[in-house]
Amino acid sequence: MNYFRTALLLAGLTALFMGVGFLIGGGNGALIALLVAGGMNLFAYWNSDRMVLSMHGAQEVDARSVPDLYAMVAELSQRAGLPMPKVYLMDNPQPNAFATGRNPQNAAVAVTTGLLQRLNRDEVAGVIAHELAHIANRDTLIMTITATIAGAISMLGNFAMFSGMGGNRDNNGGMGIIGTLAMVILAPLAAMLVQMAISRTREYAADNLGAQISGEPLALASALARISDAAHAIPNDTAERSPATAHMFIINPLSGARMDNLFSTHPATENRIAALQQMAGAAGAGRSFLRPQAQPAHGPWGGGASRRGPSGGPSRGPWG
């Protein structure tokens, strides 16, 4: 079913891409856009995961560089019945994470250094389990391709604003300034609507399955609260430069400035927490979840603020 929806998404975004091409260059523009979209669809299917990881400066790590994190991913993957995904670390102070890959055999989980520094071990495990749930549910293909193509459409809109506003057009060459303005506004908006359509219910499903994988729904709820609080206080400059990838993260990484609210593809964090509380209650957890109060950040083993390594990169701290 997900493969059918992915094909449908690619077809819809291709049609949108052709419409943008028509507004820029008429019939010839639409034809060129079709050819470009076809090539981009193939490229996105095979390489969109690497593109997204590269956008966020993610570096692959292994059992030697970050042994505790790697061992945690391996254990949770085994519980979930999944192949071991690649593990990536992003040097970013905002706690957050995402999963990518076209299938479980070619998947990756990426976490920020801020996640390891600010959450405890159980909370990090909940986040990892949530991302593994996206992989198990085969959400990552459609989420990653959407991010790649939506980003390309937004870039095309910006290109049209600079290249099409003053150009001369004949009667068959497009819709002039009005058409260009409509395209600049509507093309990114249409891509955002697609992101919203595919993301909101999937987060609830990933929360549910992730809590089953980790066995700690309240730890995942606590993680969501901490990440949500931090996301409003700690900017994620990389995500701000690539807002079309925001729907991939466990919590929206955007600050809410400018047009960021249009990229709000996640359900309200409070609703997700309530669902996890209900799940814990049904399982007889016997303890209530309280939203954490402002307090000093502590890593999984009591680590403090981030430190820089001798090469200028992030110190691994308690995670290896």
Query: Taking a C-beta distance cutoff of 8 angstroms, is the pair 317, 121 a contact?
Result: no
Query: Taking a C-beta distance cutoff of 8 angstroms, is the pair 253, 233 a contact?
Result: no
Q: Helical H runs in the chain?
A: 2-55, 67-80, 113-118, 121-136, 140-163, 176-214, 217-233, 237-241, 269-282
Q: Give Dmax over CA atoms of the chain in angstroms.
A: 72
Tokens of 190: 């249409």
CA–CA gap between residue 151 and residue 246 (Å, rounded): 11
Q: Examine the residue annotation and report whether 131 is marked as an active-site residue of this protein.
A: yes
CA–CA gap between residue 320 and residue 317 (Å, rounded): 6
Question: What are the φ/ψ torsions at residue 316 (nearest 5 degrees)?
Answer: -75, -20
Strand partners, 88: 60, 110
Among candidate residues 123, 131, 203, 216, the one labeled active-site is 131
Tokens of 186: 């509507």
Q: Please give the C-alpha separations between residue 130 and each of 55, 216, 257, in angstroms, as whole numbers.
A: 22, 11, 27
Closest by CA position to 253, among listed 93, 132, 146: 93
CA–CA gap between residue 167 and residue 264 (Å, rounded): 35
3-state DSSP assignment of residue 88: strand
Residues labelled as active-site residues: 131
